[in-house]
Amino acid sequence: MKLLFFLSSTFLRKEIAYVFIFLSIVFGILYLIKFIYNSFRTVKHSNNVDYLLKNGKKIEIDLTTSVISITEDKKITEFNESATFDKFVENGFVDIKEKRQETDYISFVKLVYTVDGGNYLHDIKLPMSMKSVEILFDFHKKTTLIYDPKNPENCIIDLGFIT
């Protein structure tokens, strides 16, 4: 009976080890596929930008009139950590916690531009608050938009003033 239990427990250990090895290989392959996909996507985007810079037509747009809407997504992360001197004070006498908040903002700008009598929409995602975007667009009222003459929806906007 003890021999049968020992063999079965050894067999289970091997199965568990094989499962961990199999899962490690599967997750490694999935990570490799994601890395390759992101690399191709980055190269495709870079090629598109290079094509537009060489062959695109430039127009100047007014940011104050072409912006349709600006929306904001706010993510607040709170950290509750013990203060450093709390380690030197016995628990029960002083219970001091250090609270820290980090706020991440993402703004989504929707703007419209006119090419050859047609209106086209373009979305921009910026890692800043809505108020910051409004202030930047008020200071820099005009910028350059480069579009593809064959497909005016394919465009890039010069936002070099945002640093």
Contacts of 158 (CB under 8 A, 6+ apart): 143, 144, 145, 146
Structural domain containing residue 18: 1-55
β-strand partners of 61: 143
pLDDT 10s digit of each residue in the chain, 163 long? 554 455 556 666 788 888 889 999 999 999 999 999 988 888 888 888 888 889 889 999 998 889 999 999 988 877 666 545 555 555 555 555 566 778 889 999 999 999 988 899 999 999 999 999 999 998 988 999 999 989 888 898 988 888 6
**Token output for 113:** 């531009």
* Same domain flag for 39 and 82: no
Q: Which of 36, 55, 74 is the last residue of a domain?
A: 55
* Same domain flag for 43 and 101: no
* Same domain flag for 104 and 146: yes
Q: How far apart are the first and last CA of the chain?
A: 73
* Same domain flag for 61 and 45: no
* Same domain flag for 33 and 81: no
Q: What are the distances in angstroms from CA 38 to CA 46, 85, 104?
A: 12, 45, 24
pTM (two decimals): 0.62
Return d(Cα 26, Cα 67) in angstroms, integer.
46
Return d(Cα 63, Cα 89) in angstroms, integer.
57
* Same domain flag for 51 and 63: no
Count structural domains, the chain.
2
Return d(Cα 70, Cα 67) in angstroms, integer.
8
